[in-house]
């Protein structure tokens, strides 16, 4: 039997302070999210994703910042063309970032210049794969467009409407950074070994691929489709709760109040000139779900989280559900790379201790 080890252990590292950051602050009790001190709602209303990337990488607020999508190196395009058309978009993105790292060979420590180059490249790679699997040729990036509008242009071959670009830009802003979540912590652990920024982002994409981290928006789409119409929302929600079905898009590991990212996305969605039917349905489902959850579970703080409005926004700009996780990964490039830069600037190898619960010393039988 192993000797007694009375050191505290927290499954999932919940509540454990694992580092320091100046990039974002979350107050889950009141529903507050700050990037470099700026409230997320103000950044969505008054900024662009291009500006938020610079804010995270440098700490400077420049609303005129521009980050066009970057061309794909020939070797990376060869790798994308070699993938089977039924490969998962997250796998294609991870492969592309790995190949980009091999081609560019970024040095250590990570820098804002490296972060810009990688973040500008990845949307081009995902858009190219999305077209290749449809039997279409990739579209070269348009240097006049910002990153999000440029991504939509490379996906569809036509410039997006201002409304569509604005809606997706809001999604990218709220998805850009969220403290020490699983994928970001993975990126910092990898950076701490003095691995390059591409390796850190590859690892982060791998962590986000898991359905407990990056897969919820597509499941929200499925549930909204099941409801079918606003008139059915009350019946469907009550039946789902009675059957023990989890309502996707509600509840969060950190937030006990309404997720401020969901509030920002709903504001953008509701400001659309012509709300499509799917948005009206999403709003109806949310209103009913919040009321019924408060009635059935008054002891639990089950509020709307960002995935609920991420789903209708991503649907609204024409993305198919299997692209949702990889698009989330594109948005989170800003935070992953910013954390990589921050880790590299004051680095110490991340090597936590562990409580041993196995056999104590014993001997191989003679």
The catalytic residues are 252, 307
Residue 6 CA to residue 8 CA, distance in Å, equals 6
Residue 221 CA to residue 74 CA, distance in Å, equals 36
Supply the DSSP string of 104-126, one letter for each residue.
Answer: H---SS--HHHHHHHHHHHHHHH
Closest CA to 311 of 286, 336, 287, 334: 286
Residue 26 CA to residue 38 CA, distance in Å, equals 12
Closest CA to 181 of 208, 209, 218, 219: 208
Residue 55 CA to residue 298 CA, distance in Å, equals 39
Beta strands of the chain (E only): which ranges?
A: 24-27, 32-35, 38-39
Closest CA to 302 of 348, 255, 338, 337: 255
Provide the edge-to-edge strand list for the sheet that holds 38-39. Answer: 24-27, 32-35, 38-39
Residue with tokens 């799917």: 278
Residue 144 CA to residue 53 CA, distance in Å, equals 18
Two structure tokens written together for 353: 């201790």
């Amino acid at each position: 039997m192993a000797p007694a080890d009375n050191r505290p252990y927290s499954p999932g590292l919940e509540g454990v302070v694992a580092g320091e950051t100046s990039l974002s602050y979350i107050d889950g009790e009141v529903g507050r999210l700050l990037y470099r001190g700026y409230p997320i709602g103000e950044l969505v209303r008054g900024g662009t994703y291009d500006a938020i990337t610079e804010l995270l990488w440098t700490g400077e607020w420049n609303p005129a910042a521009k980050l066009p999508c970057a061309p794909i190196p020939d070797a990376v395009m060869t790798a994308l063309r070699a993938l089977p058309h039924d490969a998962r978009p997250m796998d294609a993105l991870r492969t592309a970032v790995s190949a980009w790292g091999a081609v560019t060979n970024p040095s250590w420590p990570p820098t804002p210049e490296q972060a810009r180059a990688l973040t500008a490249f990845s949307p081009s790679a995902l858009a190219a794969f999305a077209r290749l699997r449809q039997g279409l040729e990739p579209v070269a990036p348009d240097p006049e467009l910002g990153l999000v509008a440029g991504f939509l242009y490379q996906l569809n071959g036509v410039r997006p409407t201002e409304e569509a670009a604005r809606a997706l830009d809001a999604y990218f802003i709220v998805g850009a950074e969220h403290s020490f979540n699983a994928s970001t912590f993975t990126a910092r652990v990898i950076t701490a070994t003095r691995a390059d920024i591409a390796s850190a982002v590859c690892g982060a994409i791998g962590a986000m691929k898991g359905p407990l981290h990056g897969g919820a928006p597509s499941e929200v789409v499925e549930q909204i489709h099941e409801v079918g119409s606003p008139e059915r929302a009350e019946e469907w929600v009550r039946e789902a709760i009675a059957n023990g079905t989890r309502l996707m898009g509600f509840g969060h590991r950190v937030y006990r109040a309404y997720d401020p990212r969901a509030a920002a996305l709903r504001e953008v969605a509701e400001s659309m000139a012509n709300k499509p039917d799917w948005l009206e349905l999403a709003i109806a489902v949310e209103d009913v779900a919040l009321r019924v959850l408060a009635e059935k579970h008054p002891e639990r703080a089950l509020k709307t989280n960002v995935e609920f409005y991420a789903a209708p926004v991503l649907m609204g700009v024409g993305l198919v559900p299997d692209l949702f996780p990889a698009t989330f990964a594109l948005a989170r490039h800003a935070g992953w790379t910013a954390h990589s830069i921050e880790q590299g600037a004051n680095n110490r190898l991340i090597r936590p201790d562990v409580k041993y619960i196995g056999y104590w010393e014993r001997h191989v039988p003679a």
